[in-house]
Amino acid sequence: MANLDELKKKAKEALNTIADVSVEAYKVAEEKAKVVARRAKLNAEIAREKALIRRNYSEIGKAYYELRKDDAEEAFKQNCEDITASLDSIEAKRAEIEDLKAGKVVCCDGEECDCDAETAPAPEEAPKQDSADDNSNSGW
């Protein structure tokens, strides 16, 4: 019987050791999970802050452009000219899209053709406008 009691004792010690190791492993895993979750939360908060900064930079730039586009400081003159050129280009392309929707035949140079629709080159399909493309009078 001594062997059976000794075997029970060793089994009990082994189970206690396994339980202790399991508890420690659980605690370590729990701490690591907390750290990972906190890092993920902080990274999400950083991303939100960066988005806010980008939006504010954009609003500042748009306000500056609207206020000073015709008399920009030298450092911003080229940027303002580029924006104006892009806005003009967008407006011209939107007008051409409207002409195409209205069924006007437009040649490659953007001028209306005198030729009939059967002999004119087929116009390319215009991409659909996003609602984000049409959110203000300034073309932004």
72-100 pLDDT, tens per residue? 999 999 999 999 999 999 999 999 999 99
Higher pLDDT, 43 or 124: 43
Q: Which long-range contacts does 90-95 make (Cβ < 8 Å, 24+ apart)?
A: 90/139, 91/139
pLDDT of residue 136: 46
Query: Distance (Å, rounded) from C-alpha 101 to C-alpha 71?
Result: 37
Q: What is the pTM of this model?
A: 0.52
pLDDT at 104 over 50: yes
pLDDT of residue 9: 84
Query: Distance (Å, rounded) from C-alpha 129 to C-alpha 90?
Result: 11
Query: Distance (Å, rounded) from C-alpha 110 to C-alpha 114?
Result: 13
pLDDT at 137 over 80: no
Q: What is the 3-state secondary structure (H, E, C) of the chain?
A: CHHHHHHHHHHHHHHHHHHHHHHHHHHHHHHHHHHHHHHHHHHHHHHHHHHHHHHHHHHHHHHHHHHHCCCCCHHHHHHHHHHHHHHHHHHHHHHHHHHHHCCCCECCCCCECCCCCCCCCCCCCCCCCCHHHHCCCCCC
pLDDT of residue 114: 54
Report residue 135 as tokens. Answer: 């959110």
**98-108 average pLDDT score:** 81
pLDDT at 6 over 90: no
11-59 pLDDT, tens per residue? 888 888 888 889 899 999 999 999 999 999 999 999 999 999 999 999 9
